[in-house]
Amino acid sequence: MVAEERNIAADVLKAMAHPIRLGVIEVLADGERTVTELYTELGCSQSMMSQQLKILCHQRLISIRKEGTQKYCGLCNRDFLKLFDCMHTHLRKFLHFKDQSACFCDD
């Protein structure tokens, strides 16, 4: 990966690196959802959700399709769902390390 690609990749990752946005991706893995369904299910305000969806859309992580007065959101790239598996494993290890301070971080 060259430097310029790393800049773009960092932006894509940054778009995922937020609890609500991760939640959106996770929920959409199960299939399309309305904006209202998303903010209801994830427990945030409508405004908040609208802004987060825009960020995800910008990085082409989700696509948005208009149908009448509503918008349906879906995943653009199911490939990234692998990340949740990695993350689950990592969280187990991470919490494990945290307990035992088995890592050479000084805190």
Partner DNA sequence: CTCGTGTATTATGATATTTTTATATTCAGC
Partner DNA sequence: GCTGAATATAAAAATATCATAATACACGAG
Binding site for DNA (CB under 7 A): 14, 17-18, 20, 34-36, 44-48, 50-51, 53-55, 64, 66, 68-71, 106
- Answer yes or no whether residue 8 interacts with a copy of itself by CB under 8 A: yes
Query: Residue 59, interface with a copy of itself (CB under 8 A)?
Result: yes
Cα gap 7→50, rounded to integer Å: 25
C-alpha span between 10 and 22 (Å, rounded): 16
- Least distance between DNA and beta carbon 45 (Å): 5
Instruction: Using the minimum distance from each CB to DNA, give the nearer residue, 18 or 96.
Output: 18
**How far is C-alpha 29 from the chain's CA centre?**
11
Distance CA 26, CA 20 (A): 10
